[in-house]
Structure formats: C-alpha cells, structure tokens
C-alpha cells in the first residue's frame, strides 16, 4: 500500500468557500437592477361587476399574495374604492396591469 501524499501544515482537504460576489462589489453595484429602479404602486379598484371570490382568486393567480392577503386587498378596494396590491418597478407593474385587465379587473399604476 502506498502512503497518501502529505499536505503542508495548516492545509486541510476541505475546499474554502468562495467569497460572495455581491460582497466584493462596491455597495452601489451589489444589488440587482430592480433595486435601482424607481418604485411604482399597483392599485386595485373596486367594481360592481366581478364576484368577490373571483377577485381574490385572480389576485392569488397573478401575484405572490396569500389567500388572506388577497382577501384583505379585495375588501379594502370594496370598502374604500381602491387598495394597494403591491409595489414594484414600472415595467413589472405595467405587466401586472395588463394581466389584471385580461381577467376583467381594473388596476392602475402610479409612482410610489
């Protein structure tokens, strides 16, 4: 049997973790493009056409909101006429607006 090669003192066989690339970048470059874009609000408007359950289901389908959160937003829009669904960058908010419109719901986009 041959003997395993010896390693210099202080060196182990385990690989060292590589530094996180975000940690090595300047602070203003450490975040993605979305973090630098101005925020926009996606607002849900009440209507007298769509069933409340349909509105909740659609919010859940199109966003990451839970059933409870979607229900709260729907009720707020029902009571107050409008409710803040989420805040994101303009392009994504406009995409959401198109998706909600295709489902028969009215949402608007405005700067946050």
66 φ/ψ angles, rounded to the nearest 5 degrees: -75, 170
* Domain-located, residue 91: yes
Q: Please give the model's pTM, rounded to 2 decimal places.
A: 0.68
Q: Which range of residues forms the domain containing residue 100?
A: 33-111
Which CATH number goes with the domain that contains 45?
Answer: 3.30.1390.10
Domains contained in the chain, number: 1
Write the pLDDT tens digit of every residue in 22-51. 444 344 444 455 568 999 999 999 998 999
> Rounded CA gap, 36 and 77, in Å?
29
* Domain-located, residue 43: yes
110 φ/ψ angles, rounded to the nearest 5 degrees: -150, 155
* Domain-located, residue 25: no
* Domain-located, residue 23: no
* Domain-located, residue 2: no
Greater confidence (80 vs 17) lies with 80
HSE of 53, CA atoms in CB hemisphere, 13 A: 0
* Domain-located, residue 76: yes
Write the pLDDT tens digit of every residue in 60-108. 999 999 999 999 999 999 999 999 999 999 999 999 999 999 999 999 9
């Amino acid at each position: 049997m041959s003997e395993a090669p010896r390693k210099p003192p202080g060196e182990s066989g385990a690989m060292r973790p590589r530094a996180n690339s975000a940690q090595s970048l300047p602070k203003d470059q450490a975040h993605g493009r979305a973090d630098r874009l101005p925020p926009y609000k996606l607002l849900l408007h009440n209507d007298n056409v769509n069933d409340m359950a349909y509105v909740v289901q659609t919010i859940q389908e199109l966003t990451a909101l839970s059933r409870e959160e979607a229900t709260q937003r729907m009720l707020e829009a029902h009571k107050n006429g409008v409710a803040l669904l989420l805040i994101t960058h303009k392009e994504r908010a406009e995409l959401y607006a198109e998706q909600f419109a295709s489902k028969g719901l009215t949402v608007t986009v405005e700067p946050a």
